[in-house]
C-alpha cells in the first residue's frame, strides 16, 4: 500500500456511501427543480398569450386567464419546495464530504480557521495552533452559528474545570 492510499476504515466506507446517496439526491431534486422551472416559464408565456387574447383582442372571456394563473402559482409552490429539498440534500452532502476530508486528512484550509477568536498574548494559543489555517479549531469546528463557534473557541482557550 502506498502512502497516498487511505487505509480501509468503516467510517470512511459509511461516509462515502452516504455522500454518494446525497449526491444522487441532489441530482434528483435538481432535475425536478429545473423541470418545474421550465414549466413555470411555459405557463407564464401561456398566461401572457391568454391575457392578450382575453384583454387585448377580446377573443376569449377574461375567466380563461385563471387556469394559467392558478397553474403558475401552484408551480411556484412546488418549485420552492423542490429548491428547499435540494438545498437540504446539498447540506447533507457537504456534511459527509467534510467528514471524508477529515478522515482522509485533507481538511486543512477548507473550514473556518477561527482567526477572529485568536486573542493577543494568550499563553498557549499560538504554540498549540489553536486558530488559523490547519488549526485545531478548523479541524474540530462543525458549528453553523457564531454562538457555537464562540463556545468551541472558549473551550479551547480556557482550562477545563476539575469538578465535573
Per-residue pLDDT tens digits for 78-119: 999 999 999 999 999 999 998 898 888 888 877 888 888 888
pLDDT at 64 > cutoff 70: yes
Q: Name every residue whose Cβ is closer than 8 Å to that of residue 115 and which is 6 or more positions away in sequence.
A: 131, 132
Higher per-residue pLDDT: 163 or 50: 50
Question: pTM for this structure?
Answer: 0.72
Q: Where are the alpha helices (DSSP H) in 52-127?
A: 66-103
pLDDT at 120 > cutoff 80: yes
- Summarize the confidence of residues 37-50 as an average pLDDT: 96
The pLDDT value given to residue 82: 97
Q: Name every residue whose Cβ is closer than 8 Å to that of residue 112 and which is 6 or more positions away in sequence.
A: 137, 138, 141, 143, 149
Question: The C-alpha cell of 31 is what?
Answer: 432535475
Most confident of 72-81, 103-112, 145-154: 72-81
**d(Cα 67, Cα 71) in Å, to the nearest integer?**
6
Which of 78, 96, 127 is closest to 13 using CA atoms? Answer: 96
**d(Cα 89, Cα 19) in Å, to the nearest integer?**
10
- Summarize the confidence of residues 40-58 as an average pLDDT: 93
**d(Cα 155, Cα 164) in Å, to the nearest integer?**
14
**d(Cα 145, Cα 112) in Å, to the nearest integer?**
11
Amino acid at each position: 500500500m502506498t502512502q497516498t492510499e487511505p487505509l480501509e476504515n468503516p467510517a470512511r466506507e459509511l461516509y462515502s456511501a452516504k455522500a454518494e446517496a446525497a449526491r444522487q439526491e441532489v441530482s434528483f431534486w435538481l432535475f425536478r427543480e429545473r423541470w418545474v422551472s421550465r414549466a413555470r416559464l411555459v405557463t407564464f408565456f401561456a398566461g401572457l398569450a391568454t391575457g392578450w387574447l382575453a384583454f387585448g383582442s377580446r377573443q376569449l372571456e377574461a375567466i380563461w386567464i385563471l387556469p394559467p394563473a392558478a397553474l403558475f402559482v401552484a408551480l411556484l409552490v412546488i418549485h420552492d419546495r423542490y429548491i428547499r429539498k435540494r438545498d437540504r440534500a446539498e447540506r447533507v452532502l457537504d456534511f459527509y464530504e467534510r467528514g471524508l476530508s477529515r478522515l482522509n486528512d485533507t481538511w486543512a484550509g477548507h473550514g473556518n480557521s477561527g482567526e477572529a477568536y485568536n486573542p493577543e498574548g494568550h499563553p498557549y494559543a499560538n504554540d498549540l495552533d489553536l486558530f488559523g489555517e490547519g488549526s485545531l479549531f478548523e479541524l474540530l469546528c462543525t458549528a453553523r452559528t457564531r454562538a457555537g463557534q464562540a463556545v468551541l473557541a472558549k473551550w479551547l482557550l480556557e482550562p477545563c474545570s476539575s469538578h465535573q
